[in-house]
Amino acid sequence: MTPEKVAAGLKSYASELMAEGAVAERLDHSDQALYQDLPRSAVANHMLFMCLAGIELVRDGHLEKAFRWLGFIQGWMWASGRHSIYELKEHSRPR
C-alpha cells in the first residue's frame, strides 16, 4: 500500500467513526484490567484517536507504525461488525 492509500483509509474510518458520534480520545494504558469493561463508545473514541494519529504517522514518514495501526483498526472494524473481511480487503486493494 502506498502512504496515500493508508492515509485515505484512515481518513475514511475516521469519518465513519465521527459520523457515529465518536470523539478522538486516547485510552489510558496504565490499567489493562479495565479494558474488558469499557463501553463501546470509549473504544470507538480510541479508534478515532488512532485513525487521526495514524494519518500524522504517515505524514511524518513513520510508515511501518502506520501500517500496524491501520491493521489494528481494521481488525477492530471487523470484530465490531462495522465491515466484513471482504470489505476491508477491498479497502486495502490497490486501485
Q: Mean pLDDT of all residues in the chain?
A: 90
Q: Domain boundaries in the chain?
A: 3-92
Residue 16 has pLDDT above 80, yes or no: yes
pLDDT in tens, 20-61: 999 999 987 766 656 667 777 889 999 999 999 999 999 999
pLDDT at residue number 34: 62
Unique residue bearing C-alpha cell 477492530: 76
Contact 70, 54 (CB under 8 A): yes
Q: What residue type is assigned to position 80 of the chain?
A: S
- pTM of the entire predicted model: 0.88
Helix residue spans in 20-62 (DSSP H): 40-59
